[in-house]
Chain A
Amino acid sequence: DQQVKQNSPSLSVQEGRISILNCDYTNSMFDYFLWYKKYPAEGPTFLISISSIKDKNEDGRFTVFLNKSAKHLSLHIVPSQPGDSAVYFCAASEGTYKYIFGTGTRLKVLA
């Protein structure tokens, strides 16, 4: 039973446009959410986080939105750059610092 789902395995976006990556979760007790980016042959790297007491967190070109009623979070990248091409994982935890990861979305930014 997948508690964290990323229903789009892949996404292609033109350089300069907005990339929107989505993540749904089923456990209403999750209270902290993260996004990671992964390049080939490297480990995932932390990108941005959001606590359940917020509905938005921004860091430069990256913004994460949380809709608790819908159990949905999204990552917006504006503007998208070719270097953003990677696999993106969302992850959620319930206060134990043990994260459950989604299946990942492969983003390709076209020059």
Chain B
Amino acid sequence: DADVTQTPRNRITKTGKRIMLECSQTKGHDRMYWYRQDPGLGLRLIYYSFDVKDINKGEISDGYSVSRQAQAKFSLSLESAIPNQTALYFCATSDLQRGGYTFGSGTRLTVV
């Protein structure tokens, strides 16, 4: 099993719909992150959480919300999806060491 699991892997949704992307981890890491990848823009931070009671906005949080239901779970919601939210979304985890992130395999979201 993957250390960081994202569901779904692919999703097509209509403009205006609410959608949730889920992330779970078995690494035991406290810190969890949501990034999106767009061509030519790299990976941009949406939200991050350093523990269950901690939620922080990243560079591009508008239009998104998150929930940290447990240490192992961090979900990303698009309240009312719009086409420019079409992107590849990655969840990542890290511990207190400066070793970087462990990423999930990504969710490809298309908003039509």
Contacts and interface: CB of A to CB of B under 8 A. Distances in A.
Nearest to A46: B100
Given A6-B42, A32-B98, A44-B43, 17 more contacts: A9-B40, A36-B103, A41-B106, A42-B105, A43-B90, A43-B92, A43-B106, A44-B103, A45-B103, A46-B102, A49-B100, A97-B31, A97-B94, A98-B45, A98-B48, A101-B42, A101-B43
A49 B106 CA distance: 23
Interface of A: 4, 6, 9, 32, 34, 36, 41-46, 49, 51, 89, 91, 93, 97-104
Interface residues of B, number: 25
Contacts, number: 57
Contacts of A42: 105-106
A46 B94 CA distance: 11
Which of A89, A91, A97 is packed against the most chain B CB atoms within 10 Å?
A: A97
Contact of A44 (B40, B45, B90): B90
A89 B44 CA distance: 12
Contacts of B33: 98
B45 A100 contact: yes
Given A98-B45, A103-B40, A103-B42, A49 B98 contact: yes
Contacts of B94: 97
